[in-house]
Amino acid sequence: MAKYPKIPEATIRRLSNYLKCLEDLENRNEKVSSSALLANMCNVNAAQVRKDFAYFGEFGIRGMGYNVKELKFNIKEILGINREWKIGVIGIGNMGSALLVYKDFLKQNYKIVAAFDIDPVKVIGHISERMGRPVEIFHVDRLKEVVKVREIEIGIITVPPSEAQKVANQLVDANVKGILNFSPSPVSVPKHIRLRNLFFTSALDNLIYYLSN
């Protein structure tokens, strides 16, 4: 299934950033970008930008640069986000609700096709008051069943930290392929499940380290 040679993890992280910058360029009606411009926007070296792309093909035109639209398309293909991904959100508190209506998800191919909570009735009122597009909310006991029927591949955990590992276990049992943990408690899962912990405080910790030192 490996379409490409071994790629540095850092390259994959940067691809997401290039994509955000390309969207920005597109909004400003720029048709073409040099590696130097992209590099500058992302605070990396221009050779780095070219090398990152070179792992996957020759996307540029010598003397000209990269076509913004084409490059965007190619990066999406590389990342695998050129198709729709079905997502379930578990835990409809403040953060979960925010994600349900998060416009940047709607713009991408990320489709939140179901939400879960221990108190779906209370939550339905809470959500409907603030949502444009409705997302059906289920009791978390129905997780496995709904994951199967709605073909959910990715679970996003937004429950309180004390419940995070339990929910992670339930997601594994429900056969999701990947988990994105937004709760501030680290969870662990079997090796065949892909996991990313996204701790908000980490970004602040990091910022503050460089402010202090």
Partner DNA sequence: TATTGTGAAGCCTTTCACAGCA
Partner DNA sequence: TGCTGTGAAAGGCTTCACAATA
Q: How far apart are CA 7 and CA 181, in angstroms?
A: 24
**Amino acid of residue 2:** A
Residue 59 structure tokens: 């996307």
**Of these, 58, 63, 103, 151, which contacts a second copy (CB under 8 A)?**
103
**126 phi and psi angles, rounded to 5 deg:** -60, -40
**207 phi and psi angles, rounded to 5 deg:** -55, -45
The least CB distance from residue 166 to a second copy, in Å, is 14
Residues in 110-169 at the binding interface with a second copy, rule: CB under 8 A: 110, 130, 153-154, 160-161
**Of these, 26, 41, 59, 197, which contacts DNA (CB under 7 A)?**
59
Of the listed pieces 23-31, 60-68, 88-96, 109-117, which binds DNA according to CB under 7 A? Answer: 60-68
Helices (H) and strands (E) in the chain, counts: 10, 9
30 binds a second copy (CB under 8 A): no
Q: How far apart are CA 21 and CA 41, in angstroms?
A: 7
When CB distances are held under 5 to 8 angstroms depending on the partner's kind, the choice from a second copy, DNA, none that residue 161 binds is: a second copy
**Of these, 80, 122, 136, 141, which contacts a second copy (CB under 8 A)?**
80
Listed in sequence order, the DSSP H helices in 55-160 are: 68-79, 94-100, 103-107, 120-128, 143-149
61 binds DNA (CB under 7 A): yes
Interacting residues toward DNA by CB under 7 A: 6, 8-11, 33-36, 44-48, 50-51, 53-54, 58-66
